[in-house]
Structure 1
Amino acid sequence: MSNLCDSCSVEQDGFKTVSLCQNDKMQHWGGAEAAHDAVNSPSHYASGEIECIDAIKASMTPDAFTGYLKGNVQKYMWRYEKKVNPAEDLKKAQWYLARLIEEVEQ
Structure 2
Amino acid sequence: MNKINHPPHYGGDNPYETIKVLESWLSIEELKGFYKGNAIKYISRAGKKGDELEDFKKAKYYIKRLIKMKKFRKLKKLLKE
Same fold (TM over 0.5): yes
Q: Which consecutive unaligned segments of at least 5 residues does structure 1 have?
A: 1-35
Partner of 1:85: 51
Percent of aligned positions with the same letter in both sequences? 34
* Displaced runs of 4 or more, over 4 A: none
Greater strand content: 1
Whole-Å separation in 1 of the counterparts to 2:34 and 2:62: 9
Deviation at 1:93, TM superposition (A): 0.2
| Higher relative contact order (CA closer than 8 Å, sequence separation 6+) | 2
Q: How many residues align?
A: 71
For 1:84 and 1:72, locate their aligned partners in 2 and report how far apart those are by CA, in whole Å.
17
Q: Given the two structures, how large is their TM-score scaled by the length of structure 2?
A: 0.78
What is the RMSD of the two structures over their aligned residues, measured on CA atoms? 1.5
Q: Tell me the alpha carbon deviations over residues 49-91 of structure 1, each in whole angstroms, 9 at most, x when there is no partner.
A: 3211111121211111011101110000000031321111000
**Structure 2 CA distance for aligned equivalents of residues 63 and 41 of structure 1:** 23
Q: Which has the larger radius of gyration?
A: 1
1:53 aligns with 2:19: yes
How far apart in 2 are the matches of 1:80 and 1:74?
10
